[in-house]
Amino acid sequence: MSFSMYHSASGNQSPHCLHVVGIGRTGAGFVDSMLREGEIEDLLEDPRARFTALAIDIGEQDMVRAKDYAQGFLERLEERHIPQDRAHIRTVSLDVPKKEELFRSLQRYQEFLKLEYPRYYWNPDYRPWLPADTEMPSPGEHFPRALAKAIYGKYYYDEPRLLKRELENFVRSVDQTRLPSMVLVCFSLGGGTGSGIAVDLARHLSTVLLGRRVPVIGVGVLPCSGDDGRYRGANLFAVLNELDCMLDDDKNKGVTEVWGDLYANPFTGGFFITNMEHVWQRLSRYTDTGVPMVRQGLRLQVTNKFVADAFVRFAAHDAGRTLFKALRPCGFTGAPHETISSKARSFTLYNPAKLTHPGAQVLPGEPLTKWRRILSNWMDYVHEWSGLVDGFKTDYAECHVHAPRSMWNETLDRKLAETVNKYLLGPEEATLRTFHYEFFDHLTNYVDILLPGLAKTDLRLFWESRKQYDNAAWEEKLMHHSWLLEVGVLLSEPSSRFEGMAGESLWGGDGWVAVPYDQLRGDVLPPATRAEILQQGIAAMTKVAVPTP
């Protein structure tokens, strides 16, 4: 059941139900956090609420914790006298199919899509997008995006249609709630499994099963400098291009005009790009003891866990109202008559800036002045570790401060405001809003910094991955793609049929999209700020406004 979430006349909001799909190891970590943090139990105190969670991965190596946390979560519901049947939690570990089985499924892909979408263009030249010599990794190994997409398709379309049944049950649970719902789809932008599966899964949720009545919100996590190079490589260029062509209204129109509404933006509630770098830097600079490989692995685990926990606290705050409001500046939660598209600047950056760490630099019991000096010093790195290119500015920012009330003071507030205004906010009309939350100890002080109006070209990793993509062989480039492969389009390549357009054909013929290649590649940058895009939209509307006396 769906309800209005926002009353535009009064600004009042109802409480929300949060539901989550986690894909791959990173996505499973977000499901873990929702089950472990305690916020969801609090939301379920409302008898109208439900919680639905689905974790999907290839292999079961990253599902053990989610299963354990799910059991503990249900036990805590029982302790609080909350009916367990108001939570639907599932973990799905996909077996790696045999190569011949996978290719038999791929041979039927056009048939599957035609049944799902009668207007699907039947290409007589179609053949499986995977090369015949594709190797099948073992569970736990790296799965390229193109292969992960194929595995997802097999389990969604081929009998017994395991993933279709799981998604149908997920949606059935969402529909049983008596409050407005938001669905989070969480995954790593730099991996293969998560980003390879997420685009099709989100499409099946928002286009086929949920329709456009429940917001589907993407939560994509950027790799940090501590991640293995394959997570910071050429595939990230293809991932960001695909998401850009979904979220940017103009680019998405250029795709759907050629290939139909099947490829309309599936992230109907917006998209958060989550930056881990500040947390990684703060957590990795306290010791060099131990075995380097073990130390590196533990640091990455703690970094991923902290970022997921922080996002879950933010998303669940005030029964989801804070999350809902954060998406309004990019135009995803307003009523149609009050929404102006942010186009190429439709991403929202979620940047948790961790300012303290247990046992590093200062200890409990030491003077508060020393604590505050450390907090102030680590604010200086907000821009350096934001993942943003030099010169990025936006017109609106939110800072959600988490600190003990005895720790944070007006001096730190001023320092935070000065830092954000100096490095991240642009013209005088720019707005900064700061919110404060009580946290449980002196050892964890951090700030959630939210920046709407982000474009892919504002990310340093976009340019780094573009260089690596340019140097990759054709076969490598193919494996970095996911979206549009079934129609034979390699999105991040120039069209050989229509000069200046994007999308090279895998099989020859009509593979292309009506998106200028120089925009897709980043050679032509979007307007500098979201405000400029909004001004252009307003100017277009005033041309047809009826003059008044």
For 80-130, what is the HEC assignment? CCCCHHHEEEEEEEECCCCHHHHHHHHHCHHHHHHHHCCCCCCCCCCCCCC
pLDDT of residue 483: 97
Cβ neighbours of residue 305 closer than 8 Å, sequence gap 6 or more: 29, 32, 33
Q: What is the pLDDT of residue 329?
A: 78
Q: What pLDDT score does 1 carry?
A: 41
Which residues on neighbouring strands pair with residue 399, listed in sequence order? 434, 449
The values of phi and psi at residue 130, to 5°, are -80, 140
Q: What is the dihedral of CA 476, 477, 482, 488, to 10 degrees?
A: -110
DSSP per-residue codes, 334-377: S-GGG----GGG-EEEEEEEE---TTSS--TTS-HHHHHHHHHH
Count of H-run helices and E-run strands, the chain: 19, 13
- pLDDT tens-digit map of 220-254: 999 999 998 889 999 999 999 999 999 999 999 99
User: What strands lie across the sheet with 17-23, from one edge to the other?
Assistant: 87-94, 51-58, 17-23, 181-188, 216-221, 270-274, 347-354, 446-454, 396-403, 431-438
CA distance 267 to 288: 42
pLDDT for the residue 29: 96
Share of the chain above pLDDT 70, in %: 92
Counting Cα atoms < 13 Å in the Cβ hemisphere of 153 gives: 31
Asked whether the bond before 160 is cis by omega within 30 degrees of 0, the reply is yes
Q: Secondary structure of the chain: what % helix, strand, coil (to 5)?
A: 45, 15, 40
pLDDT value of residue 509: 72
Distances (CA, A) of 104 to 107, 160, 488: 5, 15, 17
Distance CA 263, CA 64 (A): 34
The 10s digit of each residue's pLDDT in 143-184 is 999 999 999 999 999 999 999 999 999 999 999 999 999 999
Low-confidence ranges of the chain (pLDDT < 70): 1-11, 286-295, 333-340, 358-361, 364, 540-549
Secondary structure class of 453 (helix, strand, coil): strand
Q: Is 544 exposed, middle or buried (0-12, 13-18, 19+ CB in 10 A)?
A: exposed
Model pLDDT, residue 528: 81
pLDDT confidence of residue 211: 85
**Residue tagged 């994509």 (tokens):** 220
Ordered by where they begin, the domains of the chain are 17-349 (3.40.50.1440)
Write the CA distances from 475 to 132, 146, 398, 463, 468, integer angstroms: 11, 11, 42, 21, 14
Q: What is the largest CA-CA distance in the chain?
A: 78
Q: Which two tokens stand for residue 264?
A: 């309309």
- The contacts of residue 493 (CB under 8 Å, 6+ apart) are 477, 502, 503, 504
Q: What digits encode the pLDDT tens for the residues 429-464?
A: 789 999 999 887 777 899 999 999 999 999 999 999
For residue 305, what are its two tokens?
């866990």
